[in-house]
């Protein structure tokens, strides 16, 4: 669809969260796991205390957060409330990850298979907990399949036959993507050929595979929150280079892989580093060739990789021509407090006001529609009803000048491929920059 | 010393390597470890095969490398030859890490305590191997203490009393810095208070503590070299945020910590991320304060942290105002093939030609002199004899124009502290940039 300046944005949040209050998962769990579920519920207080000790949980903040947002937070599991909150934020559609409650973990999926899903999860309990969440989530998104893409939890380190079966079951139930653990821990790393049937099934069903920040080797951090936050985004990014260098993207060209809520600031350096390695950096002289790849890493990235970049930072937007505009999928992180809800409209204005409208349309929705298979024709009437316009975002009607201000950055792009020495990260300096050429 | 445009550069390589052919370490090793040393020597072939399988070692390249550079490579352990090579490269002084032979590991320190030094090293053998290398290295640098700063190997996860004793012994023997393992593996992470006496001793003796790339969890990589190379620089950087957030730099203001041969491209994003976290990012609302710190992470960095950035890339130089010009210590990596030797002079010209001379002086030598305690007055005559001049590096005599071209980047600096939205990474666009303001 050709769009004009006046058209409202079709906004898709590539990173939202939903989950039942934990107790309510019981009917979705096979009855033979009910005893283990009681044990899991009994351990909640100890887990909460550990989170408080690390500083991830803060009593005072939690109290204020829940009293300020009591009604809206029910949107974590109540569909009618959720739609109100999405409409209020101008969000036409969303990708739904687990764990609605990031403050107090009251909606943790059974056996800790939510955002903390980890490779060393007990395989039987892990698959049982994942299926329980997946069953509930399929019911939840069925309220309005055009607006919600449900992300199935996939304990991918379990028996590959069971994992593949769950992919097909999830697809048939109406879910649209697959979340795998960021960390394999003591199981086979993701370069292992044992996962090939899993990647093949994901490609075949058209379900993108995603990691999401959450898991990390917390036992190494003591009670130092800063350590946790400094590297918690590295662990979900890590599978990217394991898949890439072991040829998974070459062998499975239909596979799409994404990293969620881990920023995208790390991607330009990684691409620069990996492309140069592949294309024969000086340091590569003593190294063997990379036989499992047929093209530079950035080509696989553009073809098959994306980032659910959540509340994208201005610094990251400055790097979008290195990352690839189409690889950046914005997200609101509803209903998490580190996200943009319920102030998304203001947040979009302060973040995107000087970014070209055409690129903004891609990052705020159209790229996500392609990756996750949303039907934009079905979403169009919703977007026209609730979506902010470029003018609402403070974007000038004279887009020629905006485009021109970014021309040097756009033309330089990935400078290591375009022949430039240096990145060009911001718009052209105005006449007041006071710099001799 | 005030310098003029005509003065040659005083060049200090912050990352060079020296080590004996492994068998020759025997006399430096206490005799009770000679049996274990024989076992270690017997395992060399298996280790070489593992390196070949991963692709770190390449038979054809190794053959050519050794035949092309036979004489110069003896500089890895032969002092007279070494000085010839340093002079040829224009390098007045150097910081000396272990493992001269990165191609075939023929100079591996006993028991694998060289660049692969790791936290799960057997404590007794580790300390024995480290002491053997440290004894030899002290003799080696004694040939010309003004030109060489020897880095003692420090298996820091061993008994803290022994570790502290080895720091003092190394200092008295004439060594000037301490290399600790990048990875603690199954031992206490570096936030642990058990290391406080070690950091105190390092500060007291004025010996900077350094990690160096090499160790990585190779058992996770299969035979995929790309995975190894993509993350091998992350592991030596990791201790930085463990030390920082646990308050080590606050408690030990005299401690200096550096990361060697791991690039510096990752540092701007890390600083931006950590400063924002500390200064109260939106996502921090639900998080506890950082009681062990009294100032933003970047202030500790400028006060106590440095990077031995080895053969610095142009992309990294573009980020020097975010990293901090004084925090970047160039290195030649002699005698490793991924370094600049024996072509350092040409390499410097192609890398630094448009960088201001004053900043180049800091990055090529003066910053390293401060960190590692070189006496620049003793080095000055050597620099005047062998050092390239700014004109040799292609740097124009009109430095006013060069400085001006970088003014916007320099003034923006760490934009998250100076109020800017975006990084400014390169020099001002010339008149041919063709971009409307």
Interface probe for A, chosen from B196, B237, B287 (most Cβ of A below 10 Å), is B287
Mean pLDDT of B291-312: 94
Q: Cβ contacts (< 8 Å) between A437 and chain B: which residues?
A: 405, 428-431
- Please, what is the average pLDDT of chain B? 93
Nearest to A428 among B57, B286, B436 (CB): B436
Residue with tokens 């580790």: B126
Distance CA A147, CA A310 (A): 18
Phi, then psi, of A80 in degrees rounded to 5:
-60, -40
Q: What residues in B contact A426, CB-CB < 8 Å?
A: 421-424
Q: What is the pLDDT of residue B51?
A: 78
Whether A185 shows a pLDDT value over 60: the answer reads yes
Domain parsing of chain B, residue ranges: 12-429
Distance to chain A for B245, nearest Cα, Å: 5
Contact assessment for residue A423 and residue B426, using Cβ atoms and an 8 Å cutoff: yes
CB contact under 8 A, B408 and A435: yes
Q: Do B286 and A242 touch (CB under 8 A)?
A: no
pLDDT(A367) > 70: yes
Non-local (6+) Cβ contacts of B353 within 8 A are: B393, B394, B395
pLDDT at A430: 55
- Phi, psi at residue A275, to the nearest 5°? -60, -45
The first and second tokens of residue B390, run together, are 């700014």
pLDDT of the residue at B436: 33
Q: Which of A110, A101, A96 is CA-nearest to residue A140?
A: A96
pLDDT of residue B3: 83
Cα dist from A113 to A119, A126, A131, A224, A386, whole Å: 10, 6, 10, 24, 34
Q: Report how far residue B229's alpha carbon sits from residue A367's, in angstroms, rounded to the nearest whole number.
A: 31
Per CB-CB distance under 8 Å, the chain B contacts of A221 are 189, 191
Q: How many CB pairs under 8 A join A and B?
A: 219
Cα A167 to Cα A159: distance, rounded to the nearest angstrom: 13
Inter-residue contact B172 to B64 (CB < 8 Å) = no
Q: Which residue from A minimizes the CA distance to B265?
A: A269
What is the per-residue pLDDT for B339? Answer: 95
Residue B189 CA to residue B95 CA, distance in Å, equals 26
> What's the pLDDT band for B290 if we cut at 50, 70, 90?
confident
Tell me the CA distances in angstroms from A220 to A231, A235, B220, one per residue in order. Answer: 12, 14, 19
In chain B, the percentage of residues whose pLDDT exceeds 70 is 95
Using the beta-carbon criterion (under 8 Å), do B338 and A55 form an inter-chain contact? no
pLDDT value at position A287?
Answer: 47
Which chain A residue is nearest to residue B273, measuring alpha carbons?
A230
Closest to A111 in 3D by CA, of A207, A15, A20, A43: A43
Contact yes or no for A286 and B401 at CB 8 A: no
Query: Tell me, what's the pLDDT at A434?
Result: 34
DSSP state of A25: G
Would you call A291 exposed, middle or buried from its count of C-beta atoms within 10 A (0-12, 13-18, 19+)?
exposed
Query: If DSSP codes are grouped into helix, strand and coil, which group holds residue B273?
Result: helix
Which among B51, B227, B267 is the top mutation candidate for probing chain A, defined by the most A β-carbons within 10 Å of its own β-carbon?
A: B227
What is the distance in angstroms between the Cα of A187 and the nearest Cα belonging to chain B?
10
CB distance A234–B229 less than 8 Å?
no
pLDDT at A60 over 90: no
The whole-number average pLDDT for the span B193-199 is 98
pLDDT of residue B231 exceeding 70: yes
Among the four given CATH numbers 3.20.20.140, 3.30.70.420, 2.60.40.1180, 3.30.70.20, the one describing domain A12-395: 3.20.20.140
In tens, the pLDDT along B232-271 reads 999 999 999 999 999 999 999 999 999 999 999 999 999 9
Query: How far does the CA of residue B435 sit from the closest CA of chain A (Å)?
Result: 6
Candidates B103, B241, B423; nearest CB to A318: B423
Residues B308, B329 contacting (CB under 8 angstroms): yes
Q: With contacts defined as CB-CB under 8 Å, which chain B residues touch A404?
A: 435-436
pLDDT at residue B46, rounded to an integer = 86
Distance CA B44, CA A213 (A): 41
Dihedral angle of Cα B299, B300, B302, B307, to the nearest 10 degrees = -140
Assess whether pLDDT exceeds 70 at residue B422.
yes
Both structure tokens of B26: 């025997």
How many CB atoms within 10 Å of residue B406? 21
For chain B, first and last CA: distance in Å? 42
More confident residue, B200 or A61: B200
Q: Which residue of A has its CA nearest to B406?
A: A435
Region for A280 from its dihedrals, namely left if φ exceeds 0, alpha if ψ lies in -120 to 50, beta otherwise: left
Mutate to test the interface with A, among B56, B62, B190, B229 (most CBs of A within 10 A): B229
Least confident of A368-382, B70-84, B283-297: B283-297
What pLDDT, in 10s, does the model give residues A221-250?
998 999 999 999 999 999 999 999 999 999
ipTM score? 0.95
Tokens of A167: 């992919």
Residue B11 pLDDT more than 60? Answer: yes
Q: Strand pairing partners for B259?
A: B211, B307
What mean pLDDT comes out for the span A52-78? 89
Report, as an integer, the average pLDDT of B410-426.
Answer: 94
| Type and span of the H or E element at A309 | strand A305-310
For B285, which of A61, A241, A318 is closest by C-beta distance?
A: A61
Inter-chain CB proximity A62 and B286 less than 8 Å: yes
| Contact between chains at A225 and B429 (C-beta distance less than 8 A) | no
Closest CA to B58 of A162, A286, A390, A188: A286
CB–CB contact A273 B265 (8 Å): yes
Q: Work out the minimum CA distance from A106 to partner chain B, whole angstroms.
A: 15
Copy the structure tokens of residue A54: 């690390």
Least confident of A412-421, B103-112, B133-142: B103-112
∠ Cα B381 B386 B389 (to 5°):
100
Mean residue pLDDT of chain A comes to 93
Check residue B1 and give its pLDDT.
59
Q: What is the pLDDT of residues A276-302, one digit of tens each?
A: 999 984 444 444 568 889 999 999 999
Q: Residue A141 pLDDT more than 70?
A: yes
Q: Report how far Cα A229 is from the mean position of its chain's Cα atoms.
A: 17
Which residue in chain A has the smallest CA separation from B289?
A55
Asked if B271 contacts B301 with a C-beta cutoff of 8 angstroms, the reply is yes
Answer whether B404 sits within 8 Å of A265, measured CB to CB: no
CA B357, chain centre distance (Å): 23
Pick from A191, A222, A427: CB nearest B246? A222
Interface contact A315-B272, CB threshold 8 A: yes
Strand partners, B149: B95
CA distance to A38, A72, A173, B389, per residue, from A29 (Å): 12, 27, 16, 74
d(Cα B431, Cα B437) in Å, to the nearest integer?
12
The pLDDT of residue A40: 95
Structural tokens at position A390:
């470029």
**Second CATH level (architecture) for the domain B12-429:** Alpha-Beta Barrel (3.20)
Give, in order, the Cα–Cα distances in Å from A76 to each of A79, A279, A336: 8, 46, 10
Q: Across the beta sheet with A328-330, what order do the strands follow?
A: A12-17, A93-97, A148-153, A177-179, A209-212, A257-260, A305-310, A328-330
């Amino acid at each position: 669809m050709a769009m004009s300046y006046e058209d409202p944005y079709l906004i898709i949040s590539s990173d939202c969260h939903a989950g039942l209050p934990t107790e309510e998962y019981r009917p979705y769990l096979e009855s033979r796991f009910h005893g283990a579920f009681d044990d899991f519920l009994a351990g909640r207080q100890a887990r909460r205390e550990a989170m408080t000790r690390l500083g991830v949980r803060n009593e005072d903040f939690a109290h204020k957060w829940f009293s300020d947002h009591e009604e809206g937070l029910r949107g974590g599991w109540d569909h009618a409330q959720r739609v109100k909150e999405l409409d209020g934020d101008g969000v036409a559609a969303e990708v739904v990850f687990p764990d609605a409650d990031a403050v107090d973990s009251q909606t943790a999926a059974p056996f800790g298979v939510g955002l903390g899903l980890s490779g060393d999860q007990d395989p039987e309990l892990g698959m049982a907990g994942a299926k329980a969440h997946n069953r509930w989530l399929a019911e939840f998104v069925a309220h309005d399949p055009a607006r919600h893409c449900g992300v199935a939890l996939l304990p991918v380190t379990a028996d590959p036959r069971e994992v593949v079966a769950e992919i097909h079951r999830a697809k048939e139930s109406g879910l649209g993507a697959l979340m795998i653990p960021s960390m394999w821990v003591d199981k086979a790393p993701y370069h292992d050929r044992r996962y090939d049937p899993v990647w093949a099934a994901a490609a075949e069903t058209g379900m993108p595979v995603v990691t999401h920040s959450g898991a990390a080797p917390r036992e190494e951090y003591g009670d130092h929150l800063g350590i946790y936050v400094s590297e918690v985004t590295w662990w979900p990014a890590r599978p990217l280079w394991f898949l890439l260098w072991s040829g998974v993207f070459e062998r499975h060209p239909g596979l799409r892989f994404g990293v969620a809520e881990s920023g995208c600031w790390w991607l330009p350096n990684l691409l620069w580093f990996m492309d140069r390695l592949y294309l024969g950096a000086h340091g590569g002289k003593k190294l063997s060739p990379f036989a499992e790849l047929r093209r530079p890493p950035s080509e696989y990235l553009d073809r098959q990789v994306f980032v659910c970049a959540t509340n994208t930072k201005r610094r990251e937007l400055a790097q979008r021509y290195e990352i690839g505009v189409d690889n950046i999928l914005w997200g609101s992180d509803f209903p998490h407090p580190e996200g943009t809800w319920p102030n998304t409209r203001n947040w979009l204005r302060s973040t995107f006001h000087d970014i070209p409208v055409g690129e903004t349309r891609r990052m705020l929705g159209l790229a996500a529609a392609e990756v996750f298979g949303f039907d934009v024709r079905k979403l169009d009437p919703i977007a026209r009803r609730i979506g902010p316009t470029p003018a609402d975002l403070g974007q000038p009607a004279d887009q020629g000048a905006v485009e021109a201000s970014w021309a040097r950055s756009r033309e330089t792009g990935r400078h290591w491929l375009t022949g430039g020495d240096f990145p060009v990260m911001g718009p052209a300096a105005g006449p007041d920059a006071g710099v001799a050429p």
